[in-house]
Structure 1
């Protein structure tokens, strides 16, 4: 299953959502902003409904 809607928990992106094209269902997401420390978000089995659309939850790896 391809993921298109993502919700982030923890770290710099906490509480934000994003849309991705063709993100592999097993992928983790690396957020590497220019002025922030690198953060790895791991995919969970949880989903979160935002405006009636299910988002896969990615949580910061501690």
Structure 2
């Protein structure tokens, strides 16, 4: 039994979603999230400064961002 040839299906573009309400998220980060590995001390060292925390479904779909100071 042979199969019929494949049929090309045109791409479908979905309409843009409606604007969303502002969102918020809370959570905890491990101390090393703002640090670097200090090889001589063989431990995580917290690097003081300003960082941006972001969240989303993927690296290209980040929807929330907030600055933090350590």
TM-score (structure 1 length as normaliser): 0.32
Larger radius of gyration: 2
Q: Which has the higher strand share?
A: 1
Q: Which has the higher helix share?
A: 2
